[in-house]
Amino acid sequence: MSETTRAVPRAGLREHADPRERADLREHADPRERADLRERALVLDAADPLASRRELFALDDGVYLDGNSLGALPVHVPARVRDVLTRQWGELRIRSWDESGWWTAPERIGDRIAPLVGAAPGQTVVGDSTSVNVFKAVVAAARLAGEGRDEILVDATTFPTDGYIASSAARLTGHRIVPVAPADVPAALGPRTAAVLLNHVDYRSGRLHDLPGLTAAAHEAGAVAVWDLCHSAGALPVGLDEHGVDLAVGCTYKYLNGGPGSPAYLYVAARHQAAFDSPLPGWNSHADPFGMTPDYAPADGSARGRVGTPDIVSMLTLEAALDVWDGVSVDVVRAKSLALTDFFLECVEAYVPAGRVTSVTPAAHAERGSQVALRCDGAEPVMRRLIERGVVGDLRRPDVLRFGFTPLYVGFADAERAARILAEVLAEVSDGDTVG
């Protein structure tokens, strides 16, 4: 897949530059330019309408740019979890299924996530992992598409598990997988296409794919559109209802800050719920779950997406974590996300020695999620050194440094500091310093 890239627009660093040239590179940015960027960061932070949200999270003095892998802990969550453990489980025990609302939690929490992905109530259910929900969605989509359609188009750049799950679903349903780059989906669609499984944001590059356009193209071909929202929900507007998405899945431990392994969610558009045929029917999705009858009769509404007994402790941890979104506009989050990533790229261009990194994240706002991916020789040891210096990002082998910008708690001073320390680390490496 071709990508719009934004390279640092200066001559590349020669492998054997003399020591004086390397010393000059450490002072790549004029001191006045550095001071200007730091001052601008302070001004931008002072004007940030989300700045006070940072106080809601357990953060240290470092720069945490890995919220696109695991969101930070909201400070009030431990007390809420203690209540779940000591009172709801410890004292009420089995009574908590009714008295503490455990039984209705999957739909109740789904309805709290719904506004963050642009969905009306009653279409989103929380439970199971993203992988399990991808399986449910792809098999159900293949069944919804009807006879004569035996192809499932899958994002060729997808997160690997999505591809694994889709391939298994295809084998089970007698379909075949057609890997295709998202930009090439319209041309690949045809009368045999049953479903299309796409990622809203590419997990490596941060590229934002055209959900409205690709969904419309799938529908025009008579196919069902399934979207993976793991890297977009909580970072940018999604518009599931507005754009007519059929099915969607997503995790909750990234931008939604639900905690490690927190349950995922499944969206089934209201128009499909009566025909939604889950490949994993369980007692929790039965119309009469306590009837214990040998024959399966699916529940109405989003409850049809449930399977077995939900993970209550993790689910209620997520419910507590979602409090940080009260009163927050996703449009405001998106505006800050774009401003943060723009500013970080500007600082990288100003500070980093020429030719050492290349952004593989699209420069165009309409094509960018909430992360910046920088291609860098020696990326793995560079990221280790950054983490040692208090800038926590992550790595996508072999050569991509990935920095996630979570607008609820990352500020502009964080972005400037991260770029400055990146430049320092790269200058150390260019001087032949051992990175370990």
Catalytic residue among 57, 64, 159, 403: 159
- Annotated active-site residue 203? The verdict is no
Spatial separation of the C-alpha atoms in residues 276 and 289, rounded to whole Å: 18
Catalytic residue among 254, 375, 417, 420: 254
Spatial separation of the C-alpha atoms in residues 416 and 341, rounded to whole Å: 11
- Annotated active-site residue 228? The verdict is yes
Catalytic residue among 228, 246, 311, 414: 228
- Annotated active-site residue 343? The verdict is no
Catalytic residue among 53, 402, 417, 420: 402
Residues 6+ apart with CB under 8 A from 311: 127, 263
DSSP string, 120-163: -TTSEEE-S-HHHHHHHHHHHHHHHH-TT--EEEEETTS-HHHH
User: Half-sphere exposure of 80 toward its Cβ, with a 13 Å CA cutoff?
Assistant: 19
- Annotated active-site residue 136? The verdict is no
Residue 234 is classified by DSSP as T
Catalytic residue among 64, 135, 203, 253: 253
Structure tokens at 226: 């399934």
- Annotated active-site residue 57? The verdict is no
DSSP string, 294-344: SS--BPSGGGGG--S---HHHHHHHHHHGGGGTT--HHHHHHHHHHHHHHH
Spatial separation of the C-alpha atoms in residues 406 and 236, rounded to whole Å: 10
Instruction: Report the DSSP beta bridge partners of residue 399.
Output: none
Provide the annotated active-site residues.
Answer: 159, 228, 253-254, 402
